Amino acid sequence: MENSEQKNHLLLSMVRHLDRKNVAKDNDLQINIINMVTQIAQQAKVHALIPIVTALCDLMRHLRKCLQCSIEYFYIGRETSKDNSILHYSLEVCIMELTKKVGDIGPILDMIVVVLENLPSSPIMARATVSSIFRIAQIAASIPNLYHKNKVFP
């Protein structure tokens, strides 16, 4: 694969395929797509670009769906499925890799604010949304700010 930025961002758009009807029903295919995006993100350069933040927003929505499924299983007394746990882990790893590539967490925080402004009214969905936002905020807070690395502050 060439290291051109256009191809990296084109491949990062694969996250959009998680919403397709035939992919949404197949957890194994979702996990494979997310793992492929993670590997592409590991090879990408650091940029604060809109496609990466958009991919993060989509991944956060899928993380919310995983958490919502776990919460619903908890309330009915069932154990979370193994596929859901693997998908959850893959999503978190992919989010971590993409967050490293943004460089500045400002756009990520802006995305979080927009999601919080549109918080769902359903209690289960609201809990899952807040949990996914909290997890992304934890991941973003652990990433060093590369733009301030070489600056000297008084």
Between 41 and 64, where is the model more confident? Answer: 64
pTM of the model: 0.80
Helices (H) and strands (E) in the chain, counts: 7, 0
Instruction: Give the model's pLDDT for residue 3.
Output: 52
Q: Which of 69, 1, 66, 67 is nearest to 36 (CA)?
A: 1
Could you write out the DSSP letters of every residue in 23-34?
A: HHT-HHHHHHHH
Q: Does residue 105 sit within a domain?
A: yes
Q: Does residue 154 sit within a domain?
A: no
Domain containing 26 equals: 5-143
The CA-based angle 87-54-68, given to 5 degrees, is 35
Instruction: Give the model's pLDDT for residue 134.
Output: 92
- What CA dihedral angle connects 81, 87, 92 and 97, to 10 degrees? 160
Cα 4 to chain centroid, rounded: 23
Burial of residue 35 (CB within 10 Å: 0-12, 13-18, 19+) is middle
Kindly state the average pLDDT of the residues 50-62. 85
Kindly state the average pLDDT of the residues 6-11. 61
**Residue 148 DSSP code:** G
Q: Does residue 63 sit within a domain?
A: yes
Instruction: Give the model's pLDDT for residue 89.
Output: 92
Tokens 């949404």 belong to which residue? 24
Q: How many domains does the chain have?
A: 1
Cα separation, 68 vs 65, in Å, equals 5
Q: Does residue 148 sit within a domain?
A: no
Tokens of 105: 């967490």
Query: Is the predicted pLDDT of residue 63 greater than 80, yes or no?
Result: yes
Cα separation, 134 vs 120, in Å, equals 16
